[in-house]
Amino acid sequence: MSDSKSELLRSLGPWTSASIVVGTIIGSGIFLVPKTMAAEVGTPGMVIAVFLIGGLLSLAGALTYAELGAALPHAGGEYVYLREAYGPFWSFLYGWTHAVVGKSGSIAALAAGFVLYLGAFWPALAGPLIETDLPLGPDGSPFTISLGQVVAIAVILTLGTINYFGVKLGGRVQIGLTLLKIGLILAIVGGAALLGGGSAANLQTATEHTGGMSGFFAALVAALWAFDGWNNVSMVAGEVRNPGKNIPRALIGGVLVVMAVYAVTNLAYFYVLSADEVAATDRVASEAARRFLGAGGADAVAFVAMISIFGALNGSILSGARVPYAMARDGYFFRSLAQVHPNYRTPHVSIFGLCAWASALALSGSYEDLFNLVIFASWILYALTAASVIVLRRRRPGLPRPYRVPGYPFVPMAFVTSATALVLMTLADSPRESLMGLGLIAAGIPFYFFWKGRAASINQ
């Protein structure tokens, strides 16, 4: 019999669950990707249409994951679904990808993005703090540590500490940050639309663009990146109250809220700026805010972006630590990561393990290269996860399913098809990076067989 003190508590309600979805999705993407998308598809109408398509594909994924999360409401999300559908080999490879690069690299990248915007108020962050002669920097350059990297690590560890003291505390922080970021984004949208001197004629403008299927898929990848994170609530399913109802509501409602926020935000951008201006502007939101706030517009957007990224970072740490925890509980990772704090009832070792590794990636500066390499393999695992709905319907027909995906099997197959198309497009456009990404995932195979032997002894 398991000790109740060693179990996670179901203390996350519907609002916290939804805030994990919304707050993790809305990070830096909405401030950056409109430029890329305009350069690929050319017109405001096409940019907004591709955003909606990306949202609908993400919604198809959310509808699919809602059935999985309601039927298997345990810590670990995709790790659990892949284990139940295909066995421990594929679930381990997902967990390996997640822990070594996927989530840890995302946390490091978000922290670096936070520091980038903080640099607008504190320029000294970019300067070197420690310089060495070691040729460990990019392209063999000397290894240096900047003040900004130290601040990024401090941000990661601060949020790790907050989540150490209880999932309820981390959830409350997530609710507050999510409401604040949505309010600030909508304030910028409203100000730009009402005070920015825009014109509906801008919505009819066009700019030079790639066009064709290549341009469409490039824009779609950017949109899906802006929607990335909708699946994070499934990782904390073991701590959600009434998961049969709250997980589907959080997934579906959260994606719909983000779709609405993105739609009105892009309408405001293109109402104030022409397609040429959007395509030529690295920070679209800053330029839109400058139109009604003057020189202070960029600072205002930098502050909003910091709040937005901070919320996404908190949601990533809160949810991401549950995957190594679930692996360790099965005996497929370091046993210490399965520990639950006796008072705070959090996977405290897993939280700080993930934060420590993310800090190392932030310190090394190599996380961006690693994260780019693993995107290809990650989408393969996303497709396998969505397909597990069909596998489990056949393999475990008696599994209680409080929620069933509507339009089955067409909705999950739409997500699987889109994920497969993105994988093939990535392979065609970036074969070297794609194959290197697969090699990075394959590096986990020896570790699987090592831990498989240990797991067999634990589960006897």
Q: Report which of 163, 123, 155 is spatially closest to residue 319, judged by C-alpha positions.
A: 163
pLDDT digits (tens, 9 = 90+) for 296-336: 887 888 888 889 999 999 999 999 999 999 999 999 999 99
3-state secondary structure (DSSP) of residue 200: helix
| Inter-residue contact 146 to 126 (CB < 8 Å) | yes
In this prediction, residue 460 carries a pLDDT of 57
In this prediction, residue 154 carries a pLDDT of 95
Q: How many other C-beta atoms are found inside a 10 Å radius of the C-beta of residue 120?
A: 16
In sequence order, the 6+-apart residues with CB closer than 8 A to the CB of 357 are 99, 100, 104
Q: How far is CA 94 from CA 89, 351, 372, in A?
A: 9, 18, 16
Angle, helices 297-320 vs 29-41, to 10°: value is 100
Give CB contacts under 8 A, 24+ apart, made by 419-425. Answer: 419/379, 419/380, 419/382, 419/383, 419/386, 420/383, 421/217, 422/217, 422/220, 422/221, 422/224, 422/379, 423/376, 423/379, 423/380, 423/383, 425/217, 425/221
Q: How far is CA 38 from CA 1, 159, 215, 259, in A?
A: 58, 35, 10, 18
Give the chain's residues under pLDDT 50. Answer: 1-4
Helix or strand (DSSP H, E) at 456? helix 445-458
- Provide the whole-model pTM: 0.88
Query: What is the rounded CA–CA span in Å between residue 350 and residue 232?
Result: 16
Q: Report which of 341, 359, 342 is spatially closest to residue 350, judged by C-alpha positions.
A: 341
In this prediction, residue 395 carries a pLDDT of 93
Helix or strand (DSSP H, E) at 129? strand 128-131
The amino acid that residue 237 corresponds to is A
43: tokens are 């017109």
Query: What is the rounded CA–CA span in Å between residue 341 and residue 64?
Result: 32
Domains of the chain plus CATH, in order, are 15-454 (1.20.1740.10)
3-state secondary structure (DSSP) of residue 73: coil
Q: How far is CA 383 from CA 127, 253, 378, 413, in A?
A: 42, 22, 9, 9
Query: What is the rounded CA–CA span in Å between residue 387 and residue 168?
Result: 32
